[in-house]
Amino acid sequence: MRAPEGRSRPVPPVVLALRRLPNPRLTGIGAGLFAAASMLVLGCLDLLLLDGSPVVFGALFLPVSALTALWVRPADLVTAPIIVPIAFTVGVVPIAGGTGGFGGRTMAVVTALAVHAGWLYGGTLVAGVIATVRKVRLMRQRRRRLLLAAQTARPGQAARSAQAPARPSRPAQAPRRPQR
């Protein structure tokens, strides 16, 4: 184990292994396409290999939800918990079954969504928690950068800017005319 610069604790080997993995940054649409395509492929494979096992499909939905939330770019973090239920719905279509045309297939999908709502909620929760943690970390990093910039720019002003951020003054507004 080795410690990165500025840290006193050694980094666990699991973290070092995770840092070597690819770290793509997908847009909201790209993350949605990734999740939907992944779940559709997993649903088709589940149907072919395991005859449409909902437990396997649900268990595979959780890592897809986590990867979607980890790989979406910071500007689109809010989309992660919205994308994954849509991807679950797309993926459940092959394993839902149903006969009798479009109406029968639609009823089978709706029934599968209702019966397997636990997996759906679990994956959405995973994506929501990961996106929230990432957003909080980004906000803390931004605050640290702003404080550091304030301290290096004007050492005397750093104490005041750390306590209360400066608010821009609003220009005086002209009185409103009465409407006729």
The tens digit of pLDDT for each residue in 89-142 reads: 999 998 988 787 888 888 989 999 999 999 999 999 999 999 999 999 999 999
Neighbours of 169 (CB within 10 A): 6
pLDDT (0 to 100) of residue 156 = 56
Do 58 and 33 contact (CB within 8 A), yes or no?
Answer: no
Q: Average per-residue pLDDT in the chain?
A: 84
Q: How confident is the model at residue 159 (pLDDT cuts 50, 70, 90)?
A: low
Mean pLDDT of all residues in 43-50: 92
**pTM tops 0.75, yes or no:** no
pLDDT at 40 over 60: yes
Nearest alpha carbon to residue 52 among 6, 98, 16: 98
What percentage of the chain reaches a pLDDT higher than 90? 49
- Helix H segments across the chain? 13-19, 28-50, 54-71, 80-96, 101-115, 117-153, 158-163
Which residues have C-beta within 8 Å of that of residue 32, sequence separation ≥ 6?
A: 79, 83, 86, 87
Radius of gyration of the chain, Cα coordinates, nearest whole angstrom: 24
